[in-house]
Structure 1
Amino acid sequence: METPTDDDTQRAKDRHDQLTRAPEATEEDAAPRIRVSEHDGIRRIDIDPDAPVRPGMGPTGDDAVDPD
């Protein structure tokens, strides 16, 4: 894995500040939601299994929202 640069550090700080700026925001809102790893020159990006919001199909069944 690459060593973080000053730009990386600043981006992380800016992200944290943006995600915790709202009046009712918590530190948990700024928690990372992805994990990046690199093995044998291949970069892998995984959704953190503990992420409260995950990409996907969304709700289905009785809790699905009609887009119209």
Structure 2
Amino acid sequence: MDHEDRVDSTGMTDDEKRHDQLTSAPNAVECDADPRIDVTHRDGVTRIDIRDDADVRPGDPTKDPQE
């Protein structure tokens, strides 16, 4: 079972708790819970990439990420 599929004492999976947290704020919309990262595992290495289509991205929004 993947860690996203595990249900804890709240009766919710990690993905359900994330969705609930990101959509329960005042003025929140469904797309606030859209994925922002992709996690891949290969040859014992875990890679985390920020999705290009993520509305909210880490970093300084005034700087070009290519610099």
TM-score of the two chains, using structure 2 as the length reference: 0.70
Runs of 4+ displaced beyond 2 Å: 2-7
Cα drift, residue 5 of structure 1: 2.8
CA distance in 1, matches of 2:33, 2:50: 15
Q: Give the structure 2 partner of residue 16 of structure 1.
A: 19
Structure with a larger share of its residues in helix = 1
Structure 1 gaps of 5+ residues are 61-68
Q: Could you tell me how far apart the structure 2 residues matched to 1:26 and 1:58 are?
A: 22
Paired residue type of 1:5: R
1:12 Cα deviation (Å)? 1.4
Tell me the TM-score normalised to structure 1 length: 0.69
The question of 1:43 aligning with 2:46 is answered: yes
Give the deviation of 1:57 after TM superposition. Answer: 2.9
Amino acid at match of 2:49: D
Whole-angstrom distance in 1 between the partners of 2:6 and 2:51: 23
Instruction: Give the share of equivalent positions with the same residue, in percent.
Output: 50
Letter in 2 for 1:46: D
Q: Which of structures 1 and 2 has the bigger CA Rg?
A: 1
RMSD, aligned CA: 1.9
SS at match of 2:35: coil
Unpaired stretches in structure 2, ≥5 consecutive residues: none
In 2, Cα distance between equivalents of 1:5 and 1:23: 28
